[in-house]
Amino acid sequence: MTRRIKIDNATWLLAGLALAIAPHAARLPVWITLLCLGVGAARLFSARLPVRGLLAAIAAAAALGVYGSYHTLLGRDAGVALLVVMLALKLMEIKSLRDSMLAIFIAYFLVITHFLYSQSIPTGLYLLLTVAVLSAALIGLNYPGKPLDTRKRLRLTAVLMGQAVPVMLVLFVFFPRVPGPLWGLPGDAYEGLTGLSDSMTPGSISKLSQSGAVAFRVAFDGSPPQPGQRYWRGPVLDSFDGRTWSAGEKPGWKADPVGVAGKPVGYTLTLEPHNKRWLLALDLPASLPTASSLSATYELLADAPVRQRLRYHAVSHTAYLAGADIGAAQRRRALRLPPGYNPRARELAVSWRKSAQDDSEIVRRALALFRDASFFYTLRPPLLGENSVDDFLFNTRRGFCEHYAGSFAFLMRAAGVPARVVTGYQGGETNPLGAYMIVRQSDAHAWTEVWLKNRGWVRIDPTAAVSPQRVESGLAAALPEGEPVPMLARLDSAWLTQLKLAWDTFNNRWNQWVLGYGQERQYDFLSRLGLEMASWKELAVGLAVGVGALLLAFSVFMLRHPKTGTADPAAVLYRRFCSKLARAGVVRKPGEGPQDFSRRVAGLRPDLAARVNTISKLYVALRYQPHPRPAWLQRLKELVRSFKA
């Protein structure tokens, strides 16, 4: 055990630790990053170690600091912060091989925590590099004495990691996967996942729309539906408190039966995790994926919150008749309005009720209002006052889909037409390279459903009345120049579009096959290989056979004997010299040492004695001296070449 780690090892170790900590720096409180930098600098420029007592005091202070920053020591974020602090302090007390190796093991563990935040391809590549540097540091630590040559160090790292990759692949494919967590996850495990919410206030969807993140990808069994039909149904909001539309308490009845017409549309949807129960489905789903149910308002709900990328197949009908006959309770629920708010809008709705012949006409009038009056579709609407609907309809007239859907539903209810707000996504970008459609958070949308006699729940999209392009061509086309549309939702130049679609295709494969490799995928993949492996036992056998075969192959390759003599050029030259002598009649006996042989030759052929002696001495020096000079080999080569017996 060396008292102090060698400088080359210290450099590799520090580089590895820095790489392992760096991506966390953006998420950690600034003081932890500063602590790490300070410790790193101290280790790099000073050989002195702090006294144990001081270190304990710093450790206690740091733990308090973590508690101060997160108000807990448990959970994902605080846990990572503690681990980073621990690693930094470990670095302060490294003095033996044991400490250094422990620091590397902690750093390996820290690498895995990055995957809690991102498992993208760039993250994966970055962390692969980190693991390589850490492993190179580990190799150097186990090389006592002088510093390990960098080329040797890197070559060994590459060989070890290269040989480990096939082992990893076998383990990855065969290791039995269990669905779901083994125990409860900390509350903050899924923080930061974006998606629709179960309530809608003016501004909530326009905020979501500025994110270019992928909401889901969908591959259609046949041809995709027309753009105007691509309404992806999410949470349905049928309670209004004067400002916010929300899902409200669960109704006591079941979903009314749905009559369908036309051709069914089948599709496989891969939903990004959003930590809520909704599964998105094309309006209106007719079949249910496994572990899901249909709510009273035709929302497709998973049995548990979607916390991992989820893949499911569903069938929808774009032509349907839903809830042809609704009960009084359901009707009452779809007409509820809080008293007092928005008097002008109520007045307008009541005036429509009085003059209109039926509900359809009221709907037409409301849509006409949006179409004809100077309403403006924008991602940056002005703030609204207490009576938000009044304010929007009569003053600002600038808004995003939630303003239109919300005020339309309000007007309908005020006029006595059952109505509700439906949120979800509208549109999507086709990726011809991967034959699927990408739907992003920027495609988030809100529309309404009104109940009309004989027609049931009918989808009305008031935004389409204001900006028909929104529905036909997507967000970027519908918004004027200068709006903060996410980069990926913009229609860019052709090659950029191609590039980004190619990248998304690759990403999709990564998501589907690498990140989404769970129990189902595993079964699916192995049966494709012709291996019907359902049970743990069979998987374990496959795993053992695969890893065993690989290690056997490596060991046969690594431990085989080299062909004698091929390795050492000096031995080859000496053999050539011996065969030259043998042709002249002087044969070296088996087991006769070079020096004995040289003496014997000198006795038999005194004319050759001097040269034979030189060659033998050179050969012995090359073979048995600890540090033979390359020049000797060159000399031996010349001597043997010119030797004549």
Partner 1 sequence: MRWTFPDLIKFRLFNREVLKRIFNRIGAETGPVTLDRQRVFILPTRHGLTFAFALLLMLVGSINYSLSLGFALTFLLGGMAMVSILHTYRNLAQLTVRAGKASPVFAGQQASFSICLDNGSGTERLAIGLTGETQPPHYVDIPAAMTICARIVLPAPRRGILRLGRFSLFTRFPLGLFHAWSRLELDASCIVYPQPDSSKLPTPALADREGTSTRLIEGSDDFRGLRPYHSGDSLRHVDWKAMARGRGMLTKQFAGVAQPELWLAWDDLAGMETEARLSRLCRWVLDAQDAGLSYGLRIPGDTLEPDNGEAHRCACLEALALFGIGRNRDQTH
Residues with catalytic function: 401, 445, 461
**Which helix (DSSP H) or strand (DSSP E) does residue 636 occupy?**
helix 630-642
* Closer CB to partner 1, 26 or 165, in the complex: 165
In the list 26, 30, 47, 112, the residue contacting partner 1 (rule: CB under 8 A) is: 112
**Least distance to partner 1, CB of residue 510, Å:** 9
Coil/strand/helix, residue 603: helix
The residues in 275-314 that bind partner 1, with binding defined as CB under 8 A, are: 308
The residues in 570-599 that bind partner 1, with binding defined as CB under 8 A, are: 571
Among the listed ranges 86-94, 499-507, 557-565, 634-642, the one in contact with partner 1 (CB under 8 A) is 557-565
User: Any idea what the Cα angle at residue 160 is, between residues 155 and 163, rounded to 5°?
Assistant: 120
In the list 567, 606, 642, 644, the residue contacting partner 1 (rule: CB under 8 A) is: 567
**Which helix (DSSP H) or strand (DSSP E) does residue 155 occupy?**
helix 150-174
In the list 29, 50, 124, 468, the residue contacting partner 1 (rule: CB under 8 A) is: 124
* Closer CB to partner 1, 123 or 613, in the complex: 123
Give me the residue label for tokens 């044991």: 98
Q: Does the protein bind partner 1 through residue 108 (CB under 8 A)?
A: yes
Contact residues for 109 (Cβ-Cβ < 8 A; gap 6+): 83
**Least distance to partner 1, CB of residue 514, Å:** 6
**Least distance to partner 1, CB of residue 113, Å:** 8
In the list 38, 68, 74, 115, the residue contacting partner 1 (rule: CB under 8 A) is: 115
Give the orientation angle of helix 343-355 with respect to helix 359-372, to 10 degrees.
Answer: 130
In the list 44, 56, 129, 152, the residue contacting partner 1 (rule: CB under 8 A) is: 152
**Least distance to partner 1, CB of residue 576, Å:** 16
In the list 73, 534, 552, 610, the residue contacting partner 1 (rule: CB under 8 A) is: 552
Q: Which of 386, 389, 383 shows the shortest CA–CA distance to 348?
A: 389
In the list 39, 141, 258, 349, the residue contacting partner 1 (rule: CB under 8 A) is: 141
**Least distance to partner 1, CB of residue 369, Å:** 49
**Least distance to partner 1, CB of residue 248, Å:** 32
DSSP string, 457-519: EEEE-HHHHH-HHHHHH-HHHHSPTTS---GGGS---HHHHHHHHHHHHHHHHIIIIIIT-SH
Contact 449, 461 (CB under 8 A): no
Tokens of 36: 């790490």
**Least distance to partner 1, CB of residue 616, Å:** 16
Contact residues for 244 (Cβ-Cβ < 8 A; gap 6+): 199, 200, 201
Q: Does the protein bind partner 1 through residue 86 (CB under 8 A)?
A: no
Q: Which of 40, 34, 41 shows the shortest CA–CA distance to 62?
A: 34
Q: Does the protein bind partner 1 through residue 631 (CB under 8 A)?
A: no
* Closer CB to partner 1, 148 or 444, in the complex: 148
Among the listed ranges 102-110, 326-334, 351-359, 479-487, the one in contact with partner 1 (CB under 8 A) is 102-110
**Least distance to partner 1, CB of residue 607, Å:** 28
Q: Does the protein bind partner 1 through residue 97 (CB under 8 A)?
A: yes
* Closer CB to partner 1, 189 or 296, in the complex: 189
Among the listed ranges 111-119, 318-326, 341-349, 609-617, the one in contact with partner 1 (CB under 8 A) is 111-119
Detail the DSSP E strand segments found in 204-309: 214-220, 231-237, 239-240, 245-246, 258-261, 265-271, 278-279, 281-282, 292-294, 300-302
**Least distance to partner 1, CB of residue 127, Å:** 7
Q: Does the protein bind partner 1 through residue 145 (CB under 8 A)?
A: yes
Coil/strand/helix, residue 564: coil
Q: Does the protein bind partner 1 through residue 525 (CB under 8 A)?
A: no
**What's the N-to-C CA distance of the chain in angstroms?**
56
* Closer CB to partner 1, 71 or 146, in the complex: 146
The residues in 158-187 that bind partner 1, with binding defined as CB under 8 A, are: 160-161, 163-168, 171-172, 175, 178-183, 185
Among the listed ranges 195-203, 282-290, 376-384, 559-567, the one in contact with partner 1 (CB under 8 A) is 559-567
Q: Does the protein bind partner 1 through residue 138 (CB under 8 A)?
A: yes
Q: Does the protein bind partner 1 through residue 626 (CB under 8 A)?
A: yes
Partnered with residue 236 across adjacent β-strands are 422
Q: Does the protein bind partner 1 through residue 633 (CB under 8 A)?
A: no
Cα gap 640→619, rounded to integer Å: 11
Among the listed ranges 140-148, 374-382, 442-450, 588-596, the one in contact with partner 1 (CB under 8 A) is 140-148
Cα gap 137→412, rounded to integer Å: 69
Whole-angstrom CA distances from 611 to 384, 427, 598, 601 are 105, 90, 10, 11
In the list 28, 87, 103, 131, the residue contacting partner 1 (rule: CB under 8 A) is: 131
Q: Does the protein bind partner 1 through residue 609 (CB under 8 A)?
A: no
The residues in 460-519 that bind partner 1, with binding defined as CB under 8 A, are: 514-518
Site residue total, partner 1 (CB under 8 A): 73
**Least distance to partner 1, CB of residue 603, Å:** 24
Cα gap 275→308, rounded to integer Å: 8
Cα gap 174→549, rounded to integer Å: 14
In the list 192, 562, 590, 606, the residue contacting partner 1 (rule: CB under 8 A) is: 562
The residues in 343-402 that bind partner 1, with binding defined as CB under 8 A, are: none
Q: Which of 14, 69, 65, 8 shows the shortest CA–CA distance to 36?
A: 14
Q: Does the protein bind partner 1 through residue 30 (CB under 8 A)?
A: no
Whole-angstrom CA distances from 642 to 235, 505, 615, 617, 638 are 92, 66, 11, 17, 6
Whole-angstrom CA distances from 381 to 246, 375, 424, 463, 466 are 21, 11, 20, 14, 14
Whole-angstrom CA distances from 71 to 116, 204, 493 are 20, 28, 48
The interface mask with partner 1, positions 191-230, x = CB under 8 A, is: ----------------------------------------
**Least distance to partner 1, CB of residue 165, Å:** 7
Contact 41, 33 (CB under 8 A): no
Cα gap 597→605, rounded to integer Å: 12
